[in-house]
Amino acid sequence: MSDVEALKKEAGIAACRFVKTGMKVGLGTGSTVKHTVVELGRRMAEEGLEIVGVPTSLATEQLANKVGIPLVELSSIDGLDIVIDGADEYDPNFQLIKGGGAALLREKVVAQESAAMVVVADDRKRVSHLGAFPLPIEVTPFEHQATIRALGRLLDCRVNCRMAGDNPVVTDNGNMIADAHMGPTITNPVELESLILHVAGVVQVGLFNGMCDAVVLAGANGVETIINPHGRLN
């Protein structure tokens, strides 16, 4: 296991301390939070933890089934106690960029139905300004190139359709992902989110504003848990 992967595993496991028996838990997507899902499965099998989960992607659904976490439909329950998810970037105000795994729409639906959100990450994801990581925007397939051109004009930057080889990446919802290469220039993510969502053809944008309550961050000196002073876990 590489040093980076070891850090991801450490953070993913540490985030599980927020999960208690009886909770309804949103299960995020990505290379770090997969360790959280595996650890929750272990705790259920070995320690008697009792939870139900709502996955944010088909990949997470498959992993949760594999490790024995019972799953429910979000629409069948009255909200979630917590969601644990990864992030591609987070800034000093606990605003996030997500969507590197092309699951941003489902991730945001689950996050908005959760009483708290904990992000697991390694310290490469901590930034002073969002945007060095290309901003993911989920768009409808219908005339998606026209939508991407409109986004390029609006944002005044390069916006491209995310590709897998010769074909566009298709999300679990049957949509496509546009990546906006803005650079670390996002100083008002709330305003930017609103602007992007007004473009016809845009389904959702990977700016998660006012949602993150804590970050479990793994770095060279170990795992650090940073609580949002204005969040719901404070």
HEC string of 151-216 equals: HHHHHCCEEEECEECCEECECCCCCEEEEEECCCCECCHHHHHHHHHCCCCEEEECEECCCCCEEE
Distance CA 110, CA 84 (A): 10
Look up residue 154 and give its amino acid. Answer: L
Whole-angstrom distance between the N-terminal and C-terminal Cα of the chain? 34
Distance CA 35, CA 214 (A): 17
- State phi, psi for 108 to the nearest 5 degrees: -70, -35
DSSP 126: B
Angle at the Cα of 92 from the Cα atoms of 90 and 93, rounded to 5 degrees:
90
| Residue entry with tokens 């009255």 | 78
Task: State yes or no: is 107 an active-site residue.
Answer: yes
* Contact between residue 77 and residue 24 where contact means Cβ atoms under 8 Å apart: yes
| Buried/exposed code over 59-89 (b: 16+ C-beta within 10 A; e: otherwise) | bbbebbeebebeeeebeeeeebbbbbbbbbb
Q: Name the active-site residue from 10, 39, 61, 107.
A: 107
Report the catalytic residues. Answer: 107
